Amino acid sequence: MHALKELETQLEKGRISRREFMRRAATLGLALAVAPSMFPLGAQAAQGPKRGGRLRVGMGGASTTDTLSPAVMTDMMIQTLVYGQLGNSLMEIDNEGRAVPELAESYEASADAATWVFRLRKGVTFHNGKTMTADDVIHSINLHRGEKSTSAAKAIVKPIKEIVKEDAYTVRMELASPNADFPYILTDYHLVIVPEGHDGTDGIFTGVYRLKAFEPGVRSLTVRNADYFRDDRGWFDEVETLAINDINARTNALKTGQVDLINRCELKTLRFLERTPGLQLIKQTGYRHYTFAMHTDAAPYADNNVRMALKHAVDREQLVKTVFRGYAVVGNDHPISTGNRYHAGDLPQRVYDPDKAKHYLKKAGMDNLKVGLHVADAAFPGAVDAGVLFKESAAKAGIDLNVVREPNDGYWSNVWLKKPFCAVFWGGRVTEDMMFSTAYADNAAWNDTNWKHKRFNELLVSARGELDEARRKQQYGEMQRLVRDEGGVIIPVFGMDIAAASSKIGLNKPAVNWELDGFRCAQRWWFKA
């Protein structure tokens, strides 16, 4: 009966499908006893996931510069395609925010968290028919390692000192220093597993869908992979993703039935969408935040007094009320959300203070300041309006902010990381180490402020391996303070991920590590009967 209870729990939480439940129950000799009670006539037919249909997604966050290479994915369309449909990592984040095995079957760590052993699932095949083994896993992780790597995940895998194949289905990873959160690192969407000798650009992965068509910045079409290693994912027959960067066009496509799902809703339309028959809103509160990134190695932002002046010139409350219509909370110029384990809630909240902004300008030897802020709604919904409001509030501090509106297409390749002051969207990361290592470590490929701080980088390594909870909290708290007071990023708000969908789409509680159920709506959601 204990085995039955465990199966029932897994079924109720959506961890196994009804078919898998019945298969395991039959193996245990329990099928006849449980079938009537677990699957009453009518109830399951109406409520449970059903296979079939083509999911049509209208996606904002697409570019003609998109590539299938996992190493350089930067925005939603390609992330939901490669990570959410085509590929898998060793670990994934579940709907409770936990790192759980995916292509790994199990794992264990040494007492000091410096050695990690991962046992791989057997029977996993790539889309080209090759069986996945330890060689493929080692090759895939190594694509992001080394001095010549240009991967955005280079910084987070740099602590891996050695990867050893213990047998065909066991991999041991030796770290340069202990990391208590290492399984979370392996959930990163860049770290999908590809066959040895491949780099992902050919679309060959292990995922629940196979690639049928792909036009960068235009459209993709995937079909269910009949050889997928689990049967509680991939409910749709096909998934068509259409690039619709214009938010009004995206909304109209949903209202007229041209698509079943859209991301990044226009906040001012939410009340209308909620009242529209046949539609539903899907809200996620997690780690998402919006920033204005300054290059700390370029004038005038190299002077921290100038950075502090700009940080005090933002009216955060006004942004929350107007641009984000209450679907956000004020940020405090560091990227760690209240949902993170070590959020520094004791840091004083930075507020709009034009007099203090003037004070810092004087410390920089300036009476006034004129700078350009590069924005596009591709950066985040409402980025252009946010820039205009920033301009108005900054003017009261003697700062002339020239809002430069950039094209949506190509924003992430032509503006981000290149312009010295621009709007940026961050999905955030489920652990402090992942967020800081990805965007604030001095060697991070996505360090979009070019910030280098010796003390911060020392703490980054130390906190990563600290096993004492109180000491670790103190270290991460200091890091948040350093970013807040000396970093090159303005983080005025943490936003809510809001998608809109046809009410015929069914889903369980979504994971909040990324938009659209951790990028995995296509494999976790279904059409209702």
187 shares its domain with 321:
no
**DSSP-derived secondary structure for 59-108:** ESS--TT--S-GGG--SHHHHHHIIIII---SEEE-TTS-EEESSEEEEE
Assess if residue 406 is contained within a domain.
yes
Q: How many residues does the chain have?
A: 529
CA dihedral angle for residue 77, residue 83, residue 84, residue 89, rounded to 10 degrees: -170
**pLDDT at residue 25, as a whole number:** 54
Reference 283, options 511, 521, 496, 58; nearest CA is 496
Residues 250 and 499: their CA atoms lie apart, in Å, by: 11
Whether 28 is in a domain gets the answer: no
Identify the CATH number of the domain in which residue 196 sits: 3.90.76.10
Quick one: tokens of 277?
């028959």
Any domain includes 167: yes
418-432 pLDDT, tens digit each: 999 999 999 889 999
Residues 323 and 222 in one domain: no
- Whether residues 65 and 140 share a domain: the answer is no
Residue 180 to residue 169: CA distance in whole angstroms: 23
Fill in the amino acid letter for 356.
K
Contact in structure between 172 and 109 (CB atoms under 8 Å):
no
Give the pLDDT confidence score for residue 41 in this predicted structure.
30
Asked if residue 14 is part of any domain, the answer here is no
145 shares a domain with 115: yes
**108 and 62 together in one domain:** no
pLDDT at residue 386, as a whole number: 98
Cα distance from N-terminal residue to C-terminal residue, the chain: 32
Closest CA to 157 of 445, 406, 484, 481: 445
Q: Which of 201, 234, 258 is the last residue of a domain?
A: 201
Two structure tokens written together for 119:
């046992």
The pLDDT value recorded for residue 267 is: 87
Cβ atoms of 179 and 185 within 8 Å: the answer is: yes
Domain residues for the domain of 97 are: 88-201
Per-residue pLDDT at 286:
87
Residues 365 and 482 in one domain: yes
Does a structural domain hold residue 12?
Answer: no
347 in the same domain as 463: yes
Domain containing 56 — which CATH number?
3.40.190.10
pTM of the complete model? 0.77
Q: Cα–Cα distance between 428 and 494 in angstroms, integer?
A: 10
Q: DSSP characters for 176-242?
A: SS--TTHHHHTT-TT-----TT--STT---SSSEEEEEEETTTEEEEEE-TT-S-SSS--SSEEEEE
The total number of structural domains in the chain stands at 3
Vertex 97 angle, CA 95 and 101, to 5°: 85
Contact criterion met (CB below 8 Å) for 197 and 114 = no
| Residue 111 within any structural domain of the chain | yes
In a domain? residue 1: no
Residues 326 and 451 in one domain: yes
Strand partners of residue 424: 291
Same domain, 274 and 311: no
Q: Which of 201, 217, 238 is the last residue of a domain?
A: 201
State whether 370 and 485 are in the same domain. Answer: yes
CA distance 169 to 468: 33
| pLDDT tens digits along 118-145 | 999 999 999 999 999 999 999 999 999 9
The domain boundary residue, chosen from 201, 229, 264: 201
Q: What is the CATH number of the domain that holds 342?
A: 3.10.105.10
User: What does pLDDT average to in each consecutive run of 10 residues of the chain (529 residues)?
Assistant: 52 47 48 35 54 97 94 93 98 94 97 96 98 98 94 92 98 95 95 98 98 97 97 97 96 97 92 94 92 98 98 98 94 95 96 98 97 96 96 98 96 97 94 95 94 97 92 98 98 95 96 94 95
Q: At what angle do helices 454-465 and 469-486 cross, to 10 degrees?
A: 160
Query: 263 Cβ partners below 8 Å, 6+ apart?
Result: 57, 58, 59, 60, 61, 76, 497, 499, 515, 516
Same domain, 490 and 377: yes
**Does residue 319 sit in the same domain as residue 255?**
no
Nearest alpha-carbon partner for 159 in 436, 427, 362: 436
- Other beta carbons less than 10 A from residue 224's beta carbon: 20
As a whole number of angstroms, the distance between CA 10 and CA 88 comes to 21
**498 vs 229, 312, 452, 502, CA distance in Å?**
31, 29, 34, 14
**Domain assignment of residue 385, yes or no:** yes
